[in-house]
């Protein structure tokens, strides 16, 4: 009987209103619902505007700035101060850049203009509008209830003209155009289904088109988020999160290409792949023993089937333990890698992020990880242990720079053997016996990262970036071990900006015509969401 999760394998074909409020800030305010009402004070800035807004329980602080003439950032927080300005997704350079603006004001609004857009903050009721220089709608708050905080989270409502259409959010199913649909962003080990949601990745970015003009909206929030493109309301779309900052960017085109380029400016571009990664990659669950993989490789060449890579899934490992090789089924592993290379076939091996919880057995990943205090904690401070493929397992705390460095070093032996690429799977993270097949939300991560204040964070905040930081640790480790070669890292789960560290595929699917159709539109939306090196299982 198979464990509680199934897997299939990659066969790659070759503004934004930002209401910045961490859950503790919002929860501290009373009552539980805070609705932004009217402008009570404003101050023009060199690069934007600072606004104070009256609400039922006090005031809200708003800061809107222009990073470029075509990119506007808005941050809003209950109280007099904004939360920490740090991001896992947006590069520090773009986030710290800004341009000079021209302040504007009249009895009805305050705001500013750049050479590309105009931002207006209507006074009463308070409403944020982003317009082109001809006064045309780009991305405007809804006429009523534009933004509110409730129970530690927030919701923002935007106007939705009748001709507006939406694309993006990564690997979501449904129709290519997101209008009339609603989505949840929460990385989950869940096979592709027509009506299934959420899936493996969380990319809270979409591209909107209306009146021949395009814009993008990126909500930089790692908590569980949602987007409703008119499923509940015919006149407006909405988005929100259950916690964390409301911090989003509006990127003006006016063409779709310019929007996607603006998003890439913020979150980064993919690395150049190794040349072989552009070819056909052959994978299944699973090739074992070693002789089976040799037969497959020989047949690919004998039948003159173009192929550049073959994959090994968990069965090549000793008792499904990452960074091991089964000495019985794969007794000549270095020789296997060498023989495949002679046939111009590159080997990609899986390295799931869970580490078998086995002490005193000489299992180096656990022994060194435990000694270095590299694993995620329970709320009581003990190591969290959950069941995955190797049985009881612990999970690296990838929000620590030292943990990522440790993880990257684990690849040294595989690199020495000549393995070409690595596949990070199960990194939503998937936990067979956990709540919702993942970790408890009150598990503790330690943020020890340049650019961030050192602090602890619950898994509710970190969950959606675990896969991305796992991917990052692998990429950076391989680059250090092989500085003259382009790393190949394939990840199943990721977050916005994950395209900087590797590539992805759409996850577990079935060999049906309907799934082929779903896969095609998922690939297109992933491309619009910044991930250009992506494939799906087409077997």
CA 252 – CA 380 distance, rounded (Å): 46
Residue 311 burial class via C-beta count within 10 angstroms: exposed 0-12, middle 13-18, buried 19 and up = buried
Quick one: 244 and 360 in the same domain?
no
Quick one: 194 and 300 in the same domain?
no
In a domain, 532, yes or no: no
pTM: 0.92
Q: Which of these is catalytic: 428, 461, 476, 537?
A: 428
Domain boundary among 210, 243, 267: 267
Structural tokens at position 52: 């104070």
In a domain, 316, yes or no: yes
Q: Is 437 left (phi over 0), alpha (psi -120 to 50) or beta?
A: left
- What per-residue confidence (pLDDT) applies to 11? 37
Quick one: 369 and 482 in the same domain?
yes
**In the 8-state DSSP scheme, what is residue 289?**
S
CA 30 – CA 26 distance, rounded (Å): 8
Q: Are strands 534-535 and 503-505 parallel, antiparallel or unpaired?
A: parallel
- Residue position matching structure tokens 């209103």: 17
Quick one: 182 and 290 in the same domain?
no
Quick one: 409 and 348 in the same domain?
yes
Residue 425 designated active-site: yes
Quick one: 51 and 171 in the same domain?
yes
Q: Which of these is catalytic: 47, 70, 425, 476?
A: 425
In a domain, 526, yes or no: no
In sequence order, what are the residues at sequence separation of 6 or more whose Cβ sits closer than 8 angstroms to the Cβ of residue 227?
169, 178, 182, 183, 185, 204, 206, 237, 238, 239
Quick one: 260 and 336 in the same domain?
no
Quick one: 44 and 180 in the same domain?
yes
Quick one: 241 and 312 in the same domain?
no
Structural tokens at position 92: 């520090």
In a domain, 17, yes or no: no
Range(s) of the domain holding residue 412: 275-501
pLDDT string in tens for the chain (539-residue length): 333 333 433 433 332 333 333 333 333 334 467 777 889 999 999 999 999 997 666 788 999 999 999 999 999 988 889 999 999 999 999 999 999 999 999 999 999 999 999 999 999 989 999 999 999 999 999 987 788 888 889 999 999 999 999 999 998 988 889 999 999 999 999 878 777 789 899 999 999 999 999 999 999 999 999 999 999 998 999 999 999 999 999 999 999 999 999 999 999 999 999 999 999 999 998 899 999 999 999 999 999 999 999 999 999 999 999 999 999 999 999 999 999 999 999 999 999 999 999 999 999 999 999 999 999 999 999 999 999 999 999 999 999 999 999 999 999 999 999 999 999 999 999 999 999 999 999 999 999 999 999 999 999 999 999 999 999 999 999 999 999 999 999 999 999 999 999 999 998 888 888 888 888 889 999 999 999 899 888 76
Q: Which of these is catalytic: 141, 290, 461, 508?
A: 508
* Structural domains counted in the chain: 2
CATH (domain of 384): 3.20.20.80
In a domain, 516, yes or no: no
CA 53 – CA 35 distance, rounded (Å): 10
In a domain, 3, yes or no: no
Find the angle CA(248)-CA(254)-CA(258) to the nearest 5 degrees: 75
User: How confident is the prediction for the chain on average, in pLDDT?
Assistant: 91
- What per-residue confidence (pLDDT) applies to 28? 37
Residue 508 designated active-site: yes
CATH (domain of 240): 2.60.40.1760
Quick one: 201 and 315 in the same domain?
no
Quick one: 395 and 288 in the same domain?
yes
In a domain, 15, yes or no: no
Quick one: 202 and 286 in the same domain?
no
- What per-residue confidence (pLDDT) applies to 17? 32
In a domain, 496, yes or no: yes
CA 113 – CA 252 distance, rounded (Å): 13
């Amino acid at each position: 009987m198979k464990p509680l999760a199934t897997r299939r394998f990659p066969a790659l074909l070759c503004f934004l209103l930002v209401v910045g409020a961490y859950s503790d800030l919002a929860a501290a305010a009373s009552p539980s619902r805070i609705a932004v009402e009217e402008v009570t004070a404003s101050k023009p800035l060199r690069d934007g505007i600072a606004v104070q807004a009256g609400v039922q329980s006090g005031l809200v602080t708003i800061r809107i700035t222009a990073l470029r003439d075509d990119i506007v950032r808005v941050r809003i927080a209950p109280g007099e101060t904004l939360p920490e300005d740090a991001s896992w997704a947006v590069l520090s350079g773009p986030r710290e850049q800004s341009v000079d603006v021209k302040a504007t004001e009249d009895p009805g609004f305050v705001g500013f203009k750049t050479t590309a857009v105009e931002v207006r903050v209507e006074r009463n009721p308070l409403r944020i509008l982003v317009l082109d220089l001809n006064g045309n709608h780009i991305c405007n708050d809804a006429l009523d209830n534009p933004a509110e905080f409730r129970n530690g989270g927030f919701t923002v409502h935007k106007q939705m003209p009748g001709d507006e259409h939406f694309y993006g959010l990564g690997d979501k199913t449904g129709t290519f155009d997101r209008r009339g649909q609603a989505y949840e962003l929460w990385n989950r080990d869940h096979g592709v289904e027509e009506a299934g949601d959420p899936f493996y990745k969380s990319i809270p970015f979409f591209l909107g088109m209306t009146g021949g003009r395009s814009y993008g909206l990126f909500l930089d929030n790692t908590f569980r988020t949602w987007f409703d493109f008119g499923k509940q309301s015919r006149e407006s779309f909405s988005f929100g999160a259950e916690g964390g900052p409301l911090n989003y960017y509006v990127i003006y085109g006016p063409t779709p290409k310019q929007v996607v380029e603006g998003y890439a400016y913020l979150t980064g571009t993919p690395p150049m792949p190794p040349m072989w990664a552009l070819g056909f990659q052959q994978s299944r669950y699973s090739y074992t023993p070693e002789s089976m993989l040799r037969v497959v490789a020989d047949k690919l060449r004998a039948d003159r089937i173009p192929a550049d890579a073959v994959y090994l899934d968990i069965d090549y490992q000793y008792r499904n333990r990452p960074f091991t090789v089964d000495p019985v089924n794969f007794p000549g592993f270095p020789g296997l890698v060498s023989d495949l290379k002679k046939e111009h076939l590159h080997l990609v091996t899986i390295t799931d992020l869970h580490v078998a919880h086995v002490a005193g057995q000489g299992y180096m990943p656990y022994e060194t990880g435990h000694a270095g205090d590299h694993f995620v904690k329970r709320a009581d401070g003990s190591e969290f242990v959950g069941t995955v493929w190797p049985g009881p397992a612990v999970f690296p705390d990838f929000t620590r720079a030292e943990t990522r460095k440790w993880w990257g070093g684990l690849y040294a032996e595989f690199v020495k053997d000549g393995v070409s690429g690595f596949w990070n799977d199960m990194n939503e993270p998937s936990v067979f016996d956990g709540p919702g097949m993942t970790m408890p939300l009150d598990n503790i991560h330690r943020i020890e990262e340049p650019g961030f204040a050192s602090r602890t964070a619950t898994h509710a905040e970190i969950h959606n970036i675990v896969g991305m930081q796992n991917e990052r640790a692998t990429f950076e480790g391989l680059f250090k071990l092989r500085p003259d070669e382009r790393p190949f890292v394939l990840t199943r789960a990721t977050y916005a900006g994950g395209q900087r560290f590797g590539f992805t595929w759409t996850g577990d699917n079935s060999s049906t015509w309907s799934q082929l159709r779903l896969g095609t539109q998922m690939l297109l939306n992933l491309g619009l969401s910044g991930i250009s090196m992506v494939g799906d299982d087409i077997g």
